Structure 1
Amino acid sequence: MENEEIQILAPWGKIAGKLWGNPDDTPVLAVHGIMDNAGGFDKLIPLLPKYFYICIDLPGHGRSDHFPQSLPIFTVNYILTYVLTMNYFKKDKYIIIGHSYGGQLGTLVARMYPERVEKLVLLDTIHYFTTPSQMYLDDIRDKFTEYFSSEKKKKVTGPPRYTYEEILSKVIQLRRNPLTRSAAENLLKRSLILLDDGKYYLSTDQRLKYVINPKHDSRYAIESLQKHPIQCPVLIILGQENVAQRYILRPILNYLKKQKNVTVKYVQGTHDVHQVDPERVAPLINKFLITKKSKL
């Protein structure tokens, strides 16, 4: 399946991405996790049905421009990116495939704009991480501390600079479960910037290290899901090796499992299984996409 680059104008700059397939086919908006980019779907898309795949780089990732500087990033701002992209292609409804952070955002979009989302696929994600009520203010204060520290350091030293092999090694190793070399290179293709001295730095926005999520606990999250449920069919695929996420979000996962429109499947693999072993998740996604009622 051939692909091409796309740029969508936004109030703060451009949203970059890759398009796969024929624009006349069913539109699928695929969104990566935090600190990744559209290259994270390069191995998976060729294994999926011949639909029209819109793989974007979220602001501050890959080839997309950053959100305006000087303020921390708030999660809900990213919803603007989904809406702008959907408006640009002028389709009535979209299937959303989201990995990690991209899936957490996709869930919010599906709940806010149910009339625009046909199906939702969540790759090793359930919900953004909740915060116990007694930790709300401490958590936000910690994020502000990181923000001030990072801004001060950035003015003095600028972004970190690496050789290609150094930066490749970091992308592979700086995860709970390492990526393969080829998966890491798919990400670097969209985020490396070459300097005059032959070294590289990443285009990734350093503010992503302290993104501020909505602050509420599991009880509130479930009440919110009850009030504003996900109305479309949902497929959640979880890597069996990512135990921490399922433990922290167990109440929300248990609630979602009880919903008639939600299917939860487990595959052998890590948080990035769709990049490392895409053949493990592709059959589940394919069946979900082509089945009319989409209940596996």
Structure 2
Amino acid sequence: MQSPPESLSIKLPSGLTLAGLRWGASHRPLVLALHGWLDNAATFNELAPLLSDFQILAIDFAGHGLSDHRPYGVSYHIWDNITDVVGLMNEIGCSACHVLGHSMGAIVAMLLAVTFPERVQSIALIDGLWPLTNKPEEGPTQLRKALMRQIQHHQRRMPFYTSFDEALAARQRNTPLSLTAVHHIVERGLQKLPAGWQWRNDLRLTLPSPVRLTEEQADAFVQQLDKPSHLFLASHGLWQQFPYLQEKMSTLNTITVTEVLGHHHFHLEVEGAVILAPLLRAFWHHYSEPNAYCTQ
């Protein structure tokens, strides 16, 4: 029987506290695991116990799970997560580590590896790589949409559910996850209040970005990625919704791509985790560096 993960709470120099889960002994090579949008650290509950020869530290991004929300008046930008990750690495005494990311977390991992390559040994990406983009001429429309949503935000309220099972069903309606898999996300992402059950996520996370990178800018990041990189692509993932990304896949020459049978969250299903775990172990063992450390 696998030991349960250790719960962590790490305060950053910014004053923000990030929560997380840690599997594996502290003397093992460190893998920092980054979840997807509106998910949390529990997205690695099935996969992490299969990687016992590594130390897996999965964090809740700001505004997600048990981590602090950003202060009032502060927006959520994907690149702010990079600042948080570097700050967390500094706090735990980690010079460099492997990074595992799913969906939005995969995009953060890629951006981190390009902007702070000295802090990254390798990146393993689960069904995510390119950030969402806009054409230059779409910038004014994108900005107006985002600002209008911000102006109207004070009128919005997070929904309440009468029971845990009702919230579980609501989350499952938006994803092909099995009941067991979605339970991991919901259990960590839900809180019991006097009025009922409510998501812990910051509602501001659903606001659109005021500015997005252009396609050319996003391509420049991917092209400048020079760390060992392996993309595990879901056979029935989100890529099918973005034909231009399918075309871009053929241009990748520095990233290894492996297709895994399953949906966007295949790593959270028992079957997907069993397939993915040995592939990750082989990748990380090949690129582990003895001088990378973590003191906490």
Normalising by the residue count of structure 1, what TM-score does the alignment of the two structures yield? 0.89
Unmatched segments (≥5 aa) in structure 1: none
| C-alpha displacement of 1:71 | 3.5
**1:172 matched residue in structure 2:** 172
Q: Does 1:205 align with 2:202?
A: yes
Secondary structure at the residue paired with 2:280? helix
1:71-150 paired onto structure 2 within 5 Å: 71-150=74-153
Q: Does 1:232 align with 2:200?
A: no
Secondary structure at the residue paired with 1:96? strand
The 3 A distance-change label for structure 1 pair 41 and 22 is same
Identical counterparts, % of pairs: 27
Letter in 2 for 1:161: F
Bigger mean CA offset, 90-99 vs 63-72: 63-72
Unmatched segments (≥5 aa) in structure 2: 289-296
- Deviation string for 1:253-278 (max 9, x for gaps)? 333x212xx20011111111111232
Distance 2:8 2:276 in 1: 26
Q: Does 1:265 align with 2:258?
A: yes
**2:7 matched residue in structure 1:** 5
Distance 1:143 1:12 in 2: 27
Match of 2:244 among 244, 248, 258: 248
Distance 2:188 2:210 in 1: 25
- Deviation string for 1:130-171 (max 9, x for gaps)? 1122212211221222222232224xxxx2110211100111
Bigger mean CA offset, 269-278 vs 243-252: 243-252
Secondary structure at the residue paired with 2:105? helix
Letter in 1 for 2:106: G
Match of 1:40 among 25, 43, 52: 43
Letter in 1 for 2:159: P
Bigger mean CA offset, 79-88 vs 66-75: 66-75
| C-alpha displacement of 1:283 | 2.6
Distance 1:251 1:291 in 2: 29
**2:292 matched residue in structure 1:** none
Alignment RMSD (CA, Å): 2.0
Distance 1:16 1:195 in 2: 20
Distance 1:282 1:221 in 2: 29
Which aligned runs of 4 or more in structure 1 are off by greater than 6 angstroms? none
Distance 1:134 1:180 in 2: 41
The 3 A distance-change label for structure 1 pair 4 and 212 is same
